[in-house]
Amino acid sequence: MSYAASIVPMHVAEEVVQDVFVNLWKNRKMLPAIKNLSYYLYTAVKNTAINYFNKQKKEQSVNFDEVGFGYKELPYKEKAE
């Protein structure tokens, strides 16, 4: 858990570790093929944490009105005909 908490906030670290173990349990038939379980778990936690950050980044959106840059404030010139 401390490794996960060093990458993401504690409340997220708990979810990351839980997700790793749930996925490991779902794919338990592959356990005999894992030569170094400790290395596998560290790598799985790191990758799951990275996926969390990527997902957060995609979900993050910018509201231009909140940052003071609305389309109404854009300078433009009307075309004279």
Is a pLDDT exceeding 80 seen at residue 1? no
> What is the predicted pLDDT for the residue at 58?
74
Chain segment 45-67, per-residue pLDDT in tens: 999 998 988 888 777 755 555 55
Residues 6+ away with beta carbon under 8 Å from 15: 52
Q: Tokens standing for 5?
A: 């908490």
pTM of the predicted model, to two decimals?
Answer: 0.66
Supply the pLDDT for residue 28.
93
**Percent helix, strand and coil across the chain, each rounded to 5?**
65, 0, 35
Of the candidates 15, 1, 6, 3, which has an alpha carbon nearest to the alpha carbon of residue 52? Answer: 15
Distance separating alpha carbons of residues 49 and 16, to the nearest angstrom? 6
